[in-house]
Amino acid sequence: SVNWGQVFKLHRDVVESEPGVYQVKIGGAAFFANYLALKGDLAKLPKGKTVIFDLSESWCVDHTVMENLHHFCEDYEANGGHAEICGLDQHVATSKHPLAPRKRSV
């Protein structure tokens, strides 16, 4: 059964873990329906720094979020920063596409 509270509220934490390095920790379910809150947080990040998306605490990430994070990384790097997505090693993709939805396997 679906916990609708998990679907509509994205568990996220944006912290500057060291000078110039921003950790964006995403937990729970990351779906198109709750991505806008994260998008607002990302718009506030300073340019030219390092942004690390940690998805290790998420149990599900849909293709919309994967695609938006991927595009954020491309755009951020094109503007002089560095961005990466990590924490998906325990997730299984639903297809071979690099931006396919993922669900944590353990």
* CA separation for the pair 74, 105 (Å, rounded): 28
* CA separation for the pair 17, 23 (Å, rounded): 6
- Name all domains of the chain by residue range, CATH numbers in brackets: 4-104 (3.30.750.24)
Question: With a threshold of 0.85, does the pTM exceed it?
Answer: yes
Task: Provide the pLDDT for residue 7.
Answer: 59
Where b means 16+ CB within 10 Å and e means fewer, 61-97 reads bbbebbebbeebbeebeeeebebebebbeebebeeee
Q: Evaluate if residue 23 carries a pLDDT over 80.
A: yes
21 close to 66: Cβ distance less than 8 angstroms:
no
